[in-house]
Structure 1
Amino acid sequence: MDDTPIKIWRLAERSFVEFQITEQEKTRSAQPIPKDGTTWFPPPRGMLKVNVDASFNKTSKKAAVAAISSSASSAKAFAIRFGMTFAIKNGLSNVIFESDCLDVVNRIKSKIFSAWESASIEEDILNILLSYQSFSLVYASRICNGPAYWVAKGTLVECCPCDWATFVPQDLKLLL
């Protein structure tokens, strides 16, 4: 048997975390959808939505967006900027970026960058929004941003399959 105890432990840990994420999603999906405008809607005709999210581990300061971050707020801002950079590199236009971090979205929209740990990233996002008139940024509740959360959280705990975009896992399909 060439599996070391550490490999077996990591596999068991990943399976447990994946189970926890699935159970959380079941609980979340069983709850009634709020009637305060937090329901996800498809983008208007001719527009594209890119839902962005990040998962942040307070202990390790590691974010699932392949960055080390000092706070969840800066990880969320980094996820938005990452999504925008992806759109620019791929020549996308008419894109609505959705994030479940209301604080970050509000700071960018108000142009008041009061959170020192994410201020420079938020200013970059504002500059991108000003440069690309066909981009917009809006708040989406965690319920509406479930697929992006699933991928970010799964990546953070190293249980998201590398080929998730090509072969969509059943748990993720349920959120789409």
Structure 2
Amino acid sequence: MAVDRWILENKHLDQATLVQRPETRVPMAQSWLPPPVGMLKLNIDATFSYGSSNSFAVVVRDFRGLIVHVETGLTGAVEDALHAEAVAAWRAISWARSMQLSSVILESDCQVLINDLSMKSDSLTSAGLLLDAIKSISVCFSSCSFSFVKRGGNKVADAMAKFQATSLAPFQCFTFSELPADVAVLVQSDVMVE
């Protein structure tokens, strides 16, 4: 089934490219990459540990890498790490919708989450209802895509989720100048890579 779908989606590629040169595949991003002009990128991450408070972070940036919005909070009761990541995705997509944005990229270092959000069928995971709600909201945008990035490309969201896990506040919003100093350095290093 998955192979059939892949073939249909990639039928424009010639057989020689697929068989003889697999190294021509585009490598996964190791560092944060800006969205195209006119779009915003919503990087998300969450912490999860059985028996402790779990947190999420949403970091929204523009094509220049500038911070547009950062929020962190507690996930509430979640069953597993995927469920915690889904809470972060829900917060991000809900914020984007409330701001009446038209074009967004939701990016996470959780491959299972991105795979699930990219599928048209209903989710059968622990966070299924929440993921299905995110998919429903995503069609309200002119453009909404879900993108996987390795942890190196999600450092700012990762650091903010960890920061929230040590915070006493249940929910926080930040401007760039209010970010913890170590996180501000990560944002600046992402922009300097360009």
* Alignment TM-score, normalising by the size of structure 1: 0.71
Q: Which runs of 5+ in 1 are unaligned?
A: 1-34
Map 1:44-83 → 2, pairs under 5 A: 44-60=36-52, 62-64=54-56, 65-66=73-74, 67-83=76-92
Count of matched residue positions in the alignment of Structure 1 and Structure 2: 141
Gaps of 5+ in 2: 1-25, 57-72, 188-194
The 2-side partners of 1:91 and 1:80 are apart by 17
For the 8 Å contact 1:61–1:70, the answer to whether it is kept is no
CA RMSD of aligned residues (A): 2.4
| Cα distance, 1:98 vs structure 2 | 0.7
**2:66 corresponding residue in structure 1:** none
Are the structure 2 counterparts of residues 169 and 43 from structure 1 closer, same or farther at C-alpha, using a change threshold of 3 Å?
same
Q: Among the aligned pairs, what percent are the same residue?
A: 29
Matched, 1:167 2:167: no
Q: CA deviation at 1:59?
A: 2.3
How far off its partner does 1:164 sit?
4.6
| 1:7-86 pair list within 5 angstroms | 36-39=27-30, 40-60=32-52, 62-64=54-56, 65-66=73-74, 67-86=76-95
Deviations 1:20-51 (A, max 9, x none): xxxxxxxxxxxxxxx93223211111111111
Q: Which residue of 2 aligns with 1:114?
A: 124
TM-score of the superposition, structure 2-length normalised?
Answer: 0.65
Ranges of 4+ aligned residues in structure 1 off by more than 4 Å: none
Contact 1:61 1:71 in 2 (8 A): no
Identify the residue that residue 146 of structure 2 maps to in structure 1.
137
Residue 61 of structure 1: CA displacement?
Answer: 5.9
